[in-house]
Structure 1
Amino acid sequence: MLKMNTPAPELSIFAWINTQAPLTLAELKGRVVVIHAFQMLCPGCVSHGLPQASAIHAAFPPSELAVIGIHTVFEHHAVMNANALRAFVHEYKIAFPIGIDTPDAVNGIPITMQSYGMRGTPSLIVLDRLGMVRLHHFGRLDDLRLGALIGQLLVESAVPKEQKIEAIQELRSGENCNTESCQIT
């Protein structure tokens, strides 16, 4: 598994759905990136992961946050082909870009799944604006926990650290502070 706060490896994608051009993580730097790895025959992916990814995609502006689905097939290869996936995406009205993980003919585990050290599906990976791994989770993840992380990452680099420190120091030293609180005026 990838270590936290390390650069995410580039995705190895065989084909894309729901995007005019292939996406790269390098192009997405400056945005928070949510990667949802799934299989269309995975019950947890269909019941929780894909709806969660769709809700995130709908809730945040694409200029700030990108959602990418990675269809990473490590079982039932014959039935989970690109045509079946396109029909699935259409039927479930999935709007975010989906990359089909590059197959590995040697061991059957797709390339992106291997490079990210995924244990299975659903897997959720969240990258900060610098492309660093901030979450690598296998299985269902609570919406509140994920939402809190996304909120943190969206504001984390929006204001430079020096400005945050200065603002806190100014509040603490200002005349609007007492031992219990500081009031913004």
Structure 2
Amino acid sequence: MKTQNINTPAIELNTSTWLNSDRPIKLNELIGRVVVLHTFQMLCPGCVLHGLPQAIKVRNSFSEADVVVLGLHTVFEHHSVMGKEALQVFLHEYNIHFPVGIDQAAAGSDIPLTMQAYGLRGTPSIILIDRKGQVRLNYFGVIDDMLLGAHIGQLMAE
């Protein structure tokens, strides 16, 4: 597990498409709200057992006027079985209704573009962005619910 407090401007997400949203999501349009970005792969046990249920709990615990939950499906392995159609079925079966972007594949690399830009080491990862659009936490691994809630609460209070 790795945690970083960064305090740098959030990098725009480079996605090929968005699911559970009628239009692409742009981080600069979310200024004024706390953003919880959960990065995952649908074949990642830590994501399925902990990360995604945690993201759903966050979505259900805070007003969307204050906290926006986004998913980023960032595939760096098993590319051939984790396409858009499989992800759509996965989101439906797991009752995931918050917007999920598909990280844009990078030419000549197994590591997608947003994953590269944020220096993500794997999944699950949580990125917290404050109301001013600054990355305040980049955490790799399973983060405790109480710790995540404390971070979100702190950002909401600022």
- What is the TM-score with the length of structure 1 in the denominator? 0.82
Which AA in structure 2 matches 1:12?
N
Counterpart among 92, 106, 113 of residue 90 in structure 1: 92
Distance, in Å, in 1 between the alignment partners of 2:155 and 2:4 is: 18
Contact 1:124 1:136 in 2 (8 A): yes
Higher strand share: 2
Counterpart among 50, 53, 76 of residue 52 in structure 2: 50
Aligned residues: 156
Tell me: higher relative CO, structure 1 or 2? Use CA pairs within 8 A at least 6 residues apart: 2
Contact 1:2 1:117 in 2 (8 A): no
1:81 is aligned to: 83
Which AA in structure 1 matches 2:120?
M
Unaligned runs of 5+ in 1: 157-185
Distance, in Å, in 1 between the alignment partners of 2:152 and 2:4 is: 19
Matched residue of 2:81: which SS? coil
Unaligned runs of 5+ in 2: none
Alpha-carbon offset, residue 105 of structure 1:
2.5
1:66 is aligned to: 68
Which AA in structure 2 matches 1:110?
P
Percentage of matched positions with identical amino acids: 57
Contact 1:2 1:116 in 2 (8 A): no
Coordinate RMSD, CA, aligned: 1.2
Counterpart among 143, 146, 156 of residue 144 in structure 1: 146
Matched residue of 1:14: which SS? strand
Q: Structure 2 matches for 1:1-185, cutoff 5 A? A: 4-156=6-158
Task: String of CA shifts for 1:29-60, please: whole Å, max 9, x gaps.
Answer: 10000000000000000000000001001111
Matched residue of 1:87: which SS? helix
Alpha-carbon offset, residue 117 of structure 1:
0.3
Alpha-carbon offset, residue 95 of structure 1:
1.1
Q: Once superposed, which parts of structure 1, at least 4 consecutive aligned residues long, lie more than 3 Å away?
A: none
Contact 2:4 2:139 in 1 (8 A): no
- What is the TM-score with the length of structure 2 in the denominator? 0.96
Task: String of CA shifts for 1:97-120, please: whole Å, max 9, x gaps.
Answer: 000000012111100000000000
Distance, in Å, in 1 between the alignment partners of 2:107 and 2:76 is: 11
